[in-house]
Amino acid sequence: MNAKTRQFDLVVVSNRLPVDRVTDADGQQSWARSPGGLVTALEPVMERSSGAWVGWPGVPDAHFDPFEIEGGSRGGSFHVYPVTLSELELERYYEGFSNATLWPLYHDVIAPPIYHRIWWESYRTVNQRFAEQVAAISARGATVWVQDYQLQLVPQLLRRLRPDLAIGFFDHIPFPSYGLFAQLPWRAQILEGLLGADLIGFQRSEDARNFSRAVRSVLGVVPRRNVIVAADESPAGSHEVEFGDYPISIDADEFEQLGRDPAVRRRARQIRRELGDPAHVILGIDRLDYTKGIRHRLKAYGELLEEGRISVADTTLIQIAVPSRERVETYRRLRDEIELTVARINGDYSVIGRPAIQYLHRSFPRREMAAFYLAADILLVTALRDGMNLVAKEFVATHVDNDAVLVLSEFAGASDELKTALLVNPHDIDGVKEAILQARDMSDGERTRRMRVMRRRVSEDNVERWSDAYLAELRRVSAANRKNTSEADHEH
């Protein structure tokens, strides 16, 4: 059978594929795996059960045939089915509805969401295309796992096309409180789209509660604990949708190994040396996104410098800002604001060879990230709203010597689990300043105690366990639904 007509028992679908199109020095193009957490989590199960991944390759108007990609960290392979988006769809479905409507709405309207009917139309069209691609390659009774807010209509569209499939959905970002969600002109359609699934997973129990309330208020359907009876076109006339929190994690073993790797440790020492060997290295690593609270962090840091409570003589802040969604207006403005602030602080406080802030606007490979984690004494995660924040978990896993402090926003999902971090409200600038000083002055004993508890938690909740637990639950719920459907079918 050629790749085009193959059928798979496990199909993962996400807006962005876990592979990047790369061009080498000779102009040759090929695919490289991007080191995302999700692909690491799913690789073993993809191999065990003949898996495929459906998603967009990140460039518009490009048509690619399906292909198989090999040679991951575990030496495995999986099949990839690229979905084409036109330039107009990139603008309307991706930059528009996904990232200028849903993203700000779901992150507590930190930026004002924009509602355009034409974007919504495009979102529907593209979700339909994803659903059709999945339907075409899924074996009978296959398990399909739909990822994230860009594809919320896929569960329902897919159930219509292929009622035999087990359909799971996982929301990687927050689900907003009802007061905010209610703004969405297409709130009913979005909920109905999601309810095509057998199982809906969220990061936090708070997200699951918000979802439950939205279903009750918008659709008038009252969930029974964590189960919703959703109408469908099956002989039974409905199916049960289970929902709950399944906080995502990381490949903790991999980061632990990086933390012990002599070459990574050497590189971490080198980074500190090149910064002039300051006594305290503070780190921020974020996608350049307004949800991450980078401005709040810089404000706190700038004030501490101004008040003379920290000094460039012994402290440096490294801020890595990974470029993201650069054509969306709010992201462009944010970049300008952040870079202006960084330049002002550096202009006022840096001395030759001792920058107040070492600012890097680019992404780094995993090993280099691990070296930055190790080089830092303190990580600042000051997100105003964040589904989980995997950087916090990676930092914890990498610090195998328990010799660092995590300052963590209570508005990041990770704060539900990493309770011995220094938890902060990022809107409270004085509170953030106090936390930075407390982190800097913390005794070795307290640092170790706090870190050890977090490291245990992160290594227990490894991402492979997360996906195994989710998929097991999905298969259980969908088997019960299929049993009900076939019984109803026999009665007719």
Interface residues with ligand G6P (CB under 6 A)?
16, 148, 172-173, 324-325
Q: And the tokens for 482?
A: 């299929």
DSSP 66-101: -EEEE--TTS-EEEEEE----HHHIIIIIIIIIIII
**β-strand 77-82 against 19-23: which pairing, if any?**
unpaired
Q: How many CA atoms lie within 13 A of 408 on its CB side?
A: 28
If the CB atoms of residues 56 and 178 are measured against ligand G6P, the closer one turns out to be 56
User: Measured in whole angstroms, how far is the alpha carbon of residue 373 from the centre of its chain?
Assistant: 19
Residue 213 CB, shortest distance to ligand G6P, in Å, is 22
Across 386-483, where does the E strand assignment appear? Answer: 405-409, 422-424
Q: And the tokens for 168?
A: 């799971």
CB neighbourhood size of 333 (10 A): 12
If the CB atoms of residues 16 and 476 are measured against ligand G6P, the closer one turns out to be 16
Residue 96 CB, shortest distance to ligand G6P, in Å, is 12
If the CB atoms of residues 100 and 380 are measured against ligand G6P, the closer one turns out to be 100
Residue 93 CB, shortest distance to ligand G6P, in Å, is 12
Residue 172 CB, shortest distance to ligand G6P, in Å, is 4
If the CB atoms of residues 173 and 312 are measured against ligand G6P, the closer one turns out to be 173
Q: What is the rounded CA–CA span in Å between residue 203 and residue 383? A: 15
Surface-to-core class of residue 161, CB atoms within 10 Å of its CB (0-12 exposed, 13-18 middle, 19+ buried): middle
Residue 155 CB, shortest distance to ligand G6P, in Å, is 16
Q: And the tokens for 47?
A: 């191999």
Q: Which of 205, 199, 196 is nearest to 243 (CA)?
A: 199
If the CB atoms of residues 232 and 251 are measured against ligand G6P, the closer one turns out to be 251
Residue 39 CB, shortest distance to ligand G6P, in Å, is 12
- The DSSP bridge partners found for residue 230 are 239
If the CB atoms of residues 16 and 280 are measured against ligand G6P, the closer one turns out to be 16
Residue 148 CB, shortest distance to ligand G6P, in Å, is 4
Surface-to-core class of residue 273, CB atoms within 10 Å of its CB (0-12 exposed, 13-18 middle, 19+ buried): exposed
If the CB atoms of residues 161 and 364 are measured against ligand G6P, the closer one turns out to be 364
Residue 303 CB, shortest distance to ligand G6P, in Å, is 30
Residue 310 CB, shortest distance to ligand G6P, in Å, is 31
If the CB atoms of residues 325 and 440 are measured against ligand G6P, the closer one turns out to be 325
Q: Which of 448, 399, 443, 440 is nearest to 420 (CA)?
A: 448
Residue 374 CB, shortest distance to ligand G6P, in Å, is 24
If the CB atoms of residues 172 and 393 are measured against ligand G6P, the closer one turns out to be 172
Residue 103 CB, shortest distance to ligand G6P, in Å, is 8
Q: How far is CA 327 from CA 323, 331, 335, 361, in A?
A: 11, 7, 11, 16
If the CB atoms of residues 153 and 264 are measured against ligand G6P, the closer one turns out to be 153
If the CB atoms of residues 110 and 435 are measured against ligand G6P, the closer one turns out to be 110
Residue at shortest CB range from ligand G6P: 172
Q: Which of 430, 152, 466 is nearest to 301 (CA)?
A: 430
Q: And the tokens for 311?
A: 């000094």
CB-based contacts of 150, cutoff 8 Å, min separation 6: 14, 15, 93, 94, 98, 102
Query: Packing angle between helix 252-260 and helix 390-398, nearest 10 degrees?
Result: 40
